[in-house]
Structure 1
Amino acid sequence: MKDKQDIALKALLEVTQAINANLNEEQLYRIYQFTLQGYLHFSKAALYAWETPDQCLRKIPQSQRSQLPMSMDETCRQLLADIHTPVRVAQTQLPSIFKVYDWVVPVIHQNKALAHVFLGTYGEEEIDLEFVQTLSNIVLVAIENKRLVRKQIEQEALQRELALAQKVQRMLLPSKIAHQDKFDLAVFYQPHRNVGGDFYDIIGINEEEMLLCIADVSGKGLGAALMMANFQASLRAIVKNTYHLPDIIHQLNELVYENIQGENFITVFLAHYHFGKKQMSYINAGHHPPFLYSAGRPVQRLSRGSTVLGCFCPLPFLEVSTIEKVEKALLLAYTDGLVELHNAQSEQYGIEKLEQFIQRHHHLPVDDFVNALLDDVHRFCSNPLPHDDCTILCCRFF
């Protein structure tokens, strides 16, 4: 009895020292296998660890000559999931390849199976399966904790990267607007996550002209944000050489098509405004139609132009629309995250409600207009969680 206790203590000490030495997972598995066979005198040992409920992978033995499968198939996973106490392998319905082992021992922690250990014995030698469970539990819990700590570190690193990406993205959005003595602007920008695929820009051409752009990348998150950052850089580079709307859209489409290769697309509304002529020209490339309210006119939906960018090269059609006498006017551009917000009955806020809101509140200063619009949306939707990026661009021309 004393010999068995000494052996158990030596095995426990070996495992504890390995854990305290902060060895990696593979090293811990090797120490564990050595302990089972070297100290506890099992003839062979194999361990399958549950990575997820649908994934059970072999961790030991590491030998390339092992005939055991690297992962359990669905049938074997179901059979193992029903094993909650040590049982002889011969009494299970596991495939014959596992019958070279005598026992299968589950390792349970907080009612969760961490692993199943297969053990071979020498004849009828007495074995302590309860101690095997305890020892295995110590090793597997240590490995599980390492995995959780690593996952937490990775998540924290990702959060830091996303926070930096958010800061960079907001720096790329315009902070100073040209010609503010000739028009007023209010913007609401809220990405679905830390970063998003919405974009807007106001570019001064000269004392009398400006470009206004709002765009939306299909998709969300960091990938969409990177695509949009590239789009913004491309727009700024193109505008240095030309202010001609068709040229800008064609060049943007070519760049987007080459970069995205049909996997995503970008919707764009691009407008050119001349303050002296009170004239607006625009191209809508598949974007939700902005609204234009001019004194004495009904609300207009600016929908004409082309299809989305990035799907066809060259674009199958392109039309520039020009509107004269745009003065004392309100322009409202937005992304689909606004009108697709819905209430508890799955009813979307929608374009019709947005147009009705403009008809009632077009007289408000732009900041008050945007705040009132957000209040109206929240009342309709009961403060829902946004499921997409949302941008509102409200511009009043004096």
Structure 2
Amino acid sequence: MIEKLEKLYLKLLEISKNPQKPYSSEEELWALVEEEINIITSEFLSYKQELESSTILIESQLEEISRLYEEISTLFEISKIVASNIETKQILMPVLITLKKAINFSCGIISINFDGKFSETIGECPNNIEEVLKDNLDENADIVFKETCKKLNNRSIIYKSISTASNKRMGYILVVGKESGTIFTAGDKKIIESAAQQIASSIEREIALREEIEREKLNQQIEIARSIQFNFFPKAFPQDENFDSFGESIPAIHVGGDYFDVFLKNNSLYGIVADVSGKGLPASLIMSSLRSAFKSLIESTNGDLLKTVTSLNNMLSYDVGDDKFVTAVFVKLNRDGALEVINAGHDPLYIVKDKITKINSTSIPIGMFEFMEFEMQRTQLSENTLIFAYTDGIPEARNINNEEYDFERLERLLSKIHILPAKDIVDSVEKDVFRFSQGALQHDDMTILAIKYLG
């Protein structure tokens, strides 16, 4: 018997890993066996308790992971819905259906006030829902999370406003009561908040898309206006045994308020360079009126420059308004070299041969007042003389140090290049100005007209 007991004792020691204790009798051996059994039983119970605690913890973590997975899956599904639709109103019902699968509410509403008011509802919603909202929700509240709402049979609610990044309120999401009868959780609240943010992003994206479409439409219209405006400028320039001419206009923005023209009429050459106050489309519209009026008046006055300018002033002063005017220099050059000039508030006209002569402004800009008298200035040109007209975008061109190109630089250049053909003169001035202002934005329209009297 004692041998079996000794084997049992040794077996128990193998399990408990305890050292063997001495004994002198069978009774003492039984006591040692009972002691080991108690130790092993105690350790087993302790291990069992730890195992049960670990199981509960693992189950809790699995539940948390499952809940997070459900949240992520829901938000991913909503993201796909938002990404696949351009119009926000088209995503409201799909988002509601996705939310119901995740949260299992009994009533859900998404309402937005964007490009009209749109609402979508799913589930069994009470008829007095608007009244409930007014009674239970602060209109300035961003989110409301209530465990019980008396007017909704003590069901829990989540209300979340839909607001853009600029904090402009565009609508709301409301969910009422779980079908299981339980209250909404913090996880449900997080899903609703994320859904509201996604809908707000959809609204912002749609607004940005519409603005981009409008910009594109405007750019197309401006491009059309630019094309029309360039068609106003001469395509061919008078060049014969007496005259050589060339001109070019470069707007600071898509369309400009500068205008130039040069043409032959009644065996004389007429030229104009004008600068409408302001820039862009308003200035270009006035410029187009100036062009059509100038040519028709030359025709009706039989080429009389003074009568043409006087009539043009009266027409523009009536049409353009008090805050607009046009500085302009008008030229009539006969084949015998007789030159007539009217400078109406414009920069000096240069006459260049052996020296530079300026024909300064002696009149106010046209379009300011009706029935103004304009002064005609006359001079006689010799062969190979340059007439150079321009707008203030040339001398006022700036470089990156905010320094102006200025008149002195222009005059020095003209004294060197006046012997060149008209086109080469225009090209040389443009290149010199752009070389000077390299790196700086063009701040004003630039227009040049060069006329060479060949004799």
TM-score with structure 1 setting the length = 0.72
Matched, 1:145 2:205: yes
Residues 345-356 of structure 1 aligned to structure 2 (within 5 Å): 345-356=401-412
Offset of residue 122 of structure 1: 7.3
CA apart distance, 1:300: 1.6
Partner SS for 2:329: strand
User: Whole-Å Cα distance in 1 between the matches of residues 446 and 390 of structure 2?
Assistant: 7
Aligned to 2:60: none
Whether 1:307 aligns to 2:387 is no
Distance 1:35 1:140 in 2: 17
Query: Secondary structure of 1:185's match?
Result: strand
Aligned match of 2:264: 204
Structure 2 matches for 1:116-127, cutoff 5 A?
Answer: 126=184
Question: Is the 8 Å Cα contact of residues 36 and 42 (structure 1) preserved in structure 2?
Answer: no
Q: Work out whether 1:190 is the aligned partner of 2:246.
A: no
Does the residue aligned with 1:249 lie in a helix, a strand or coil? helix
In 2, distance between residues paired with 1:385 and 1:115? 40
The CA deviation at 1:149 is: 2.7
How many percent of aligned residue pairs carry the same amino acid? 24
Residue 383 of structure 2 is aligned to residue 323 of structure 1? no
In 1, the alpha carbon distance for the partners of 2:94 and 2:295 equals: 60
* 5+ long unaligned stretches in structure 1: 50-56, 81-85, 90-100
Residues 263-294 of structure 1: CA deviation (Å, up to 9, x unaligned)? 32111111111112x11111111111121113
Q: Which residue of structure 1 lines up, in the alignment, with residue 435 of structure 2?
A: 379
Alignment-derived partner of residue 289 in structure 1: 348
Counterpart position of 2:50: none
User: 3-state DSSP class of the match of 2:393?
Assistant: helix
Alignment of 1:248-263 (within 5 A): 248-263=308-323
Distance 2:426 2:341 in 1: 23
Q: 1:358 aligns with which of 399, 409, 414?
A: 414
1:214 aligns with 2:273: yes
Alpha-carbon distance in structure 2 between the residues aligned to 1:336 and 1:381 = 15
How many Å separate the matches in 2 of 1:165 and 1:229?
10
* Contact 2:78 2:198 (8 Å CA) reproduced: no
Change beyond 3 A, Cα 1:116–1:361: same
Query: Which residue matches 1:98?
Result: none
Shift of 1:303: 1.5
Give the whole-Å Cα distance in 1 for the aligned partners of 2:206 and 2:143: 29
Q: Distance in 2 between matches of 1:176 and 1:108?
A: 56
Aligned residue for 1:227?
286
Q: Distance in 2 between matches of 1:104 and 1:335?
A: 60
Partner of 1:169: 229
The question of whether the paired residues in 2 share the 8 Å contact of 1:304 and 1:320 is answered with no
Instruction: Report the Cα distance in structure 2 between the residues aligned to 1:11 and 1:350, rounded to whole angstroms.
Output: 63
Q: Distance in 1 between matches of 2:113 and 2:143?
A: 15
Instruction: Classify the secondary structure of the residue corresponding to 2:291.
Output: helix
Contact 1:44 1:120 in 2 (8 A): yes
* TM-score w.r.t. length of structure 2: 0.64
Whole-angstrom distance in 1 between the partners of 2:223 and 2:77: 44
CA deviations over 1:98-139 (Å, ceiling 9, x no partner):
xxx996657688xx8685766778799536221212222332
Could you tell me how far apart the structure 1 residues matched to 2:409 and 2:262 are? Answer: 27
Amino acid at match of 2:223: A
Q: 1: distance between equivalents of 2:425 and 2:248?
A: 11
- Report the alpha carbon displacement of residue 182 of structure 1 after superposing the two structures with TM: 1.4
**One-letter amino acid of the structure 2 residue matched with residue 195 of structure 1:** V
Alignment of 1:84-103 (within 5 A): none
| Local SS of the residue matching 1:305 | coil
Any conservation in 2 of the 1:184–1:396 contact (CA below 8 Å)?
yes
How big is each residue's C-alpha offset from its partner over 1:361-386, in whole Å with a ceiling of 9 and x where there is no partner?
Answer: 32233333233323332333235321
Q: For 2:300, what is the secondary structure of its paired residue?
A: coil
Following the alignment from structure 1 to structure 2, what is the Cα–Cα distance between the partners of residues 256 and 334?
Answer: 21
Separation in 2, partners of 1:162, 1:30: 40
Match of 1:267 among 300, 316, 327: 327
Distance 1:28 1:312 in 2: 60
| CA–CA separation in structure 2 for the residues paired with 1:180 and 1:30 | 75
Equivalent position SS for 1:363: coil
Instruction: Give the partner amino acid of 1:268.
Output: A
Report runs of 4+ in structure 1 exceeding 4 Å deviation. 9-20, 22-37, 39-49, 57-61, 86-89, 101-109, 112-125
Q: CA deviation at 1:233?
A: 0.7
Larger Rg: 2
Residue 309 of structure 1 and its aligned partner are, at CA, apart by 1.7
The AA in structure 2 aligned to 1:364 is: L
Report the Cα distance in structure 1 between the residues aligned to 2:189 and 2:82, rounded to whole angstroms: 22
Task: Give the Cα separation in 2 of the matches to 1:385 and 1:19.
Answer: 39
Distance in 1 (alpha carbons) for counterparts of 2:161 and 2:320: 51
Q: C-alpha distance in 1, partners of 2:275/2:342?
A: 15
Higher helix share: 2
SS in 1 for 2:381: coil
Contact kept? 1:196, 1:225, Cα under 8 Å: yes
Q: Judge conservation of contact 2:77–2:98 (CA < 8 Å) in 1.
A: no
Distance 2:164 2:211 in 1: 21
Q: How large is the Cα RMSD of the aligned pairs?
A: 4.5
| Aligned positions, number | 355
Is the 8 Å Cα contact of residues 325 and 366 (structure 2) preserved in structure 1?
yes
Conserved 8 A contact 1:48-1:116: yes
